[in-house]
Amino acid sequence: MRGNSAALEAAGVDFCYYENDGLVLREVSLELGAGELVGLIGPNGSGKTTLLRVLSGLLVPNRGKVYLDGQDIRTFDRRRIAQRVAVVPQELAMPFAFSAYEMVMMGRTPHVRPILGAGPRDRQVVAEKMELTATSVLAERPFSELSGGEKQRVIIAMALAQEPEILLLDEPTVHLDINHQVEILELIKRLNCRERLTVFATMHDLNLAALYFDRLILLDRGQVVANGSPAEVLREESIRQVFRADVQVQQHPTHHTPQVVILPLT
């Protein structure tokens, strides 16, 4: 057991997919405290999705360890991890015509006893999480026919049905228009506040990350290069170096968070 208060921790993590390939993650160390709202930013290919998979226990580090509530995550079986940690992927393709309700009920899998199937408690939790995510009205609709924003809310409801303590989201606003991006991020922030969920999400949009997350971690080529408040992480020099883009950082007119302005090359 580790003597710390981190809900989830990576300690000196290296990871590569194949033995002869270079490291995707290199000496990554970070802590997520209980109830924190943290965003993970970085260029495409910097290792963000891989880090989420390592933290969730889906991938095993080549070096270093991941700790869940102070205990090596490898000592947990997948069922126990799923009862504590829920993952919302970038995309979820379903080959069968499941309804939105059936999708959310899948989130109860770690709690449903084999053979007996879902019981009253499972149906109650699903109803609560669909109400919380405003997806109750979608219950009977085929998941495949929902809009991008509706699908994302159903997937989040499915993750919440696991009754996790930690929610990991991989680009939760990807492929969504501005209105639905804000809708999803408002939901995530509300879940963090009301449910006291520890939230860790990869983000592509730096300005939205600054607006909605209390702490940001900047990843570059598999290494953590900055970790702190949005104002501490989103500095012009760091952004230019990591993203190879010319920018100016200004203050948001109403929320006093940094906002990144991209400058044209000519």
Q: What is the per-residue pLDDT for 3? A: 45
- pLDDT tens digits for 3-22? 456 799 999 999 999 887 89
* pLDDT for the residue numbered 21: 84
Shared domain check, 103 and 205: no
For the chain, the distance separating the N- and C-terminal CA atoms, rounded to the nearest angstrom, is 55
Closest CA to 249 of 192, 207, 190: 207
What's the number of domains the chain is made of?
A: 2
In this structure, are 78 and 11 located in the same domain? yes
Residue type, 51: L
In a shared domain, residues 213 and 123: no
Q: How far is CA 175 from CA 1, 32, 41, 88, 98, in A?
A: 40, 27, 17, 15, 22
Domain span at residue 171?
A: 1-84+164-233
What letter does residue 113 receive in the DSSP assignment? P
Task: Please report whether residue 226 resides in a domain.
Answer: yes
This model's pTM is above 0.75: yes
Residues 107 and 58 in one domain: no
Give CA torsion, residues 113, 198, 75, 16, to 10 deg.
120
105 in the same domain as 43: no
In one-letter notation, the amino acid at residue 231 is A
Mean pLDDT of 245-263: 95
Instruction: Give the pLDDT confidence of 140-151 residue by residue, as tens digits.
Output: 999 999 999 999
Helix axis angle, 148-160 relative to 178-194, nearest 10°? 20
CA dihedral sign, ordered 45, 46, 48, 50: positive
Same domain, yes or no: 28 and 124: no
Which CATH number fits the domain that encloses residue 187?
Answer: 3.40.50.300
